[in-house]
Structure 1
Amino acid sequence: MAVYAIWNNKGGVGKSYLTFQIASEYARTHRDQRVLVIDLCPQANSSSMILGGIVEGENRIEELSSQNPPKTISGYVNDRIVSPYVDTHSGANFVTHAHPLNNMVPDNLYLVCGDEELEMQASRIQLACSAGPNNAWQIVHTWIRNLIDDVRASWNQQNITVFIDCNPSFTVYTELAISAADRLIIPFSADGSSKRAVKSLLSLVYGIQRRPGQPQSQFFRNTQQFRMALPQIYSYVGNRLTQMNNSSASAFKNVVLEIFNEVFRVYQANPGLFAIHPNGAPAPINRTTFRIMFEEQVNDANTASVVSGALGIPICRLTAGVKTFAGRSSRVNQSQLDRQQPNIQNFVAKIE
């Protein structure tokens, strides 16, 4: 039971979709636990899916955002901006029980809803980092960790599992998410830009230099100055991958291999950056054992993937047949479900 950030320094790799699927499946298979999703992306896509999809979910986000104060991540951030250096202990006030709003998700799934206002709050968060006491940056970067502690106290449960959906841009609210996480899940897609994004992520968060003399990010330098723990890499996940024919399958394998080589090089030089799992397992000693522990692949379920997100029905609960959303009908085939459901189930079974 830990805090997982789902992030890659690239849009379009399915961070929100993956957050929705793994959080829902984790909650379904851990009914004795409460599971929390924190949506720290202004697009609020994971919130939309958790709350019912592109129609109902969007309406519910609007309802939560319209409350006074907003029952969203922006409501909490505004609370902290007013009191940037003294913990308000108000985080539990911004948690929404998802199941009463979308009965397709498990009844032990909870959400701190995303909010587009987060984008407009970024400059005020940055100002709070530079004003105030000498350790202002450090204090501000514990806001989301404080929120999680508030929820733990409210639930009277210290060991909870949290999934944080991050914005692709490495802006200050992404830094807050990374600072709160124990472990990092890195989604990627089968294209060349994903490899560059993974390299960028390793540099921004962990200070891994791709060439001699490359400057390190201010975030990394500050975490070192304040002796702040960084999340350990838990897995890198090829998300909604498609292999259409022999040619595209070969290209897909090449991209996955390139990303594997990049991450494995970092492991060889900095094994402490990686979370060995499951608990008590021996550390990987070669390429094969590393890949088994850290690499995951989630196949694209095509129409089923789209319908799952659009209706807010987790893929592992979705059934075959004709589904209607936004005035349109689409057919979900069992073969599509068979491509992705086992991937999600197997991946979630490995999450501690």
Structure 2
Amino acid sequence: MAIYAIWNNKGGVGKSYLTFQIASEYARQNPTKKVLVVDLCPQANSSSMLLGGIEKGEERLTDIHTTSPRKTISGYIDDRIMSPYVSPNSGSSYITNVSQYNNSVPSNVFLVVGDEQLEIQSSKVTSATFSGPQDAWRIVHLWVRDLIADIQSSWNDEDCCVFIDCNPSFSIYTELALTAAERLIIPFSADGSSKRSVKAVLSLAYGVRRYGGDPQSEFYLNSNRYSMSLPQIYMYIGNRLTQMNNSSAGAFKTVVNEIGEEIWNVWGGSSNLFCIHPNGSSTPNNRRAFKNMFQYEVNDANTASVVSGALGIPISRLTAGNKTIAGKNVSVNQTQLDKQVPNIVDLVGNID
């Protein structure tokens, strides 16, 4: 089993869109494996897309949120708030087979549905780290890992793959996701704020100081204190990069290269923070080999990208032609699909 967190300390980089596409495509390429998505973002965007998009998906989310008991991530968090330091082993009660709601998604995709109530619960989760036994911080930070272990056990420890869609801010739920994950996928967009946010990821999660006297996050310090493993960086993805005229393409490329330089510099001093992949690959010994292993780019498919998420149809299954969204006709061109589908297929082919 491999567990991936998909996170950037910034909204708007297409984190949930990538979670939807990667999980769906991974399930298509690996039909004998179960694929689990844990939606830890209170906005539940990846859940909405998986369940059918902005209309059907939102309706299905509402139905799930209003059913008692609450079969969502918040339902599980409620269980843990009631039993913070001893696992109730209830995680398997909170999985949903996505294809029961959306037959455009492979039948081997399962979901722990996202829930806006995470925001309301966050203060109680944080409070639990400061009370109870001496190692309360460690126990609470393993809640999501316990959830995944419960689900895997209910699957008789079959081989599976897990993708965690994280809250963009560095909240308590981001911390729980990072302590559950073994590998980290960092999406970014080609702008200056993405460069800053990638630096923040490296600082908050791995203690990488921008300047010598910078303080380190409590998460990083406590992870070391309790000898908790951090996820290894698996890939960083320039997501939905725009290809327009030569000048704009050049500007985007400059930012992508600067972000790559930032991560390359971390490799130079802390290569142990990275996960060599695919299995059996040799360790990169130069900048080009490093880039080939860790840096990926996903082109913007323009209208096709929007339609894919809005209808809950994975991009590799979306067809060209007229589509109806919110009562309006929208046209998807094959050239748009050709921009992104090969990127997603190739990217997922490099995920173990």
Superposed, 1:100-111 pairs within 5 Å as 100-111=100-111
**1:53 alignment partner AA:** G
Task: Name the structure 1 match of 2:83.
Answer: 83
| CA distance, structure 2, for counterparts of residue 19 and residue 338 of structure 1 | 20
The aligned length equals: 352
| CA distance, structure 1, for counterparts of residue 237 and residue 150 of structure 2 | 30
Superposed, 1:25-174 pairs within 5 Å as 25-174=25-174
| CA distance, structure 1, for counterparts of residue 227 and residue 100 of structure 2 | 41
Give the RMSD, CA atoms, in angstroms: 0.6
Task: Name the structure 2 match of 1:12.
Answer: 12
Task: Name the structure 1 match of 2:184.
Answer: 184
| CA distance, structure 1, for counterparts of residue 224 and residue 234 of structure 2 | 21
Task: Name the structure 1 match of 2:223.
Answer: 223
**1:66 alignment partner AA:** T
Distance 1:158 1:207, change over 3 A: farther
**1:207 alignment partner AA:** G
| CA distance, structure 1, for counterparts of residue 64 and residue 147 of structure 2 | 18
Shift of 1:324: 0.2
Shift of 1:69: 2.0
Q: Secondary structure at the match of 1:99?
A: helix
Task: Name the structure 1 match of 2:2.
Answer: 2
Shift of 1:66: 1.1
**2:181 alignment partner AA:** A
Task: Name the structure 2 match of 1:209.
Answer: 209
Cα-to-partner distance string for 1:177-202 (whole Å, 9 max, x where unaligned): 11100000000000001000000000
Task: Name the structure 2 match of 1:21.
Answer: 21
| CA distance, structure 2, for counterparts of residue 228 and residue 160 of structure 1 | 23
| CA distance, structure 2, for counterparts of residue 107 and residue 135 of structure 1 | 40
Q: Which runs of 5+ in 1 are unaligned?
A: none
| CA distance, structure 2, for counterparts of residue 110 and residue 345 of structure 1 | 20
Cα-to-partner distance string for 1:233-273 (whole Å, 9 max, x where unaligned): 00000000002101101101100110010000000100000
Shift of 1:67: 1.7
Q: Is the 8 A contact 2:76 2:90 kept in 1?
A: yes
Cα-to-partner distance string for 1:114-170 (whole Å, 9 max, x where unaligned): 000001110000011111001001000000000110011101124310000001100
Q: Is the 8 A contact 2:34 2:159 kept in 1?
A: no
**2:195 alignment partner AA:** K
Sequence identity percentage: 62
**1:228 alignment partner AA:** M
| CA distance, structure 2, for counterparts of residue 279 and residue 94 of structure 1 | 32
Shift of 1:64: 1.1
Task: Name the structure 1 match of 2:240.
Answer: 240
Superposed, 1:265-280 pairs within 5 Å as 265-280=265-280
TM-score normalized by structure 1?
A: 0.99
| CA distance, structure 2, for counterparts of residue 159 and residue 105 of structure 1 | 19
Q: Secondary structure at the match of 1:19?
A: helix
Task: Name the structure 2 match of 1:305.
Answer: 305
Shift of 1:321: 0.2
| CA distance, structure 2, for counterparts of residue 143 and residue 67 of structure 1 | 23
Shift of 1:229: 0.2
Task: Name the structure 2 match of 1:281.
Answer: 281
| CA distance, structure 1, for counterparts of residue 286 and residue 178 of structure 2 | 28
Q: Which runs of 5+ in 2 are unaligned?
A: none
**2:191 alignment partner AA:** D
Q: Secondary structure at the match of 2:224?
A: helix
| CA distance, structure 2, for counterparts of residue 109 and residue 335 of structure 1 | 28
| CA distance, structure 2, for counterparts of residue 342 and residue 157 of structure 1 | 32
Greater Cα offset, 230-239 or 58-67: 58-67
Q: Secondary structure at the match of 2:197?
A: helix
Cα-to-partner distance string for 1:265-307 (whole Å, 9 max, x where unaligned): 0001000000001112111111000000000000000000000
Cα-to-partner distance string for 1:86-134 (whole Å, 9 max, x where unaligned): 0010001000000010000000000000000001110000011111001
TM-score normalized by structure 2?
A: 0.99
Task: Name the structure 1 match of 2:193.
Answer: 193
| CA distance, structure 2, for counterparts of residue 61 and residue 127 of structure 1 | 28
| CA distance, structure 1, for counterparts of residue 27 and residue 333 of structure 2 | 25
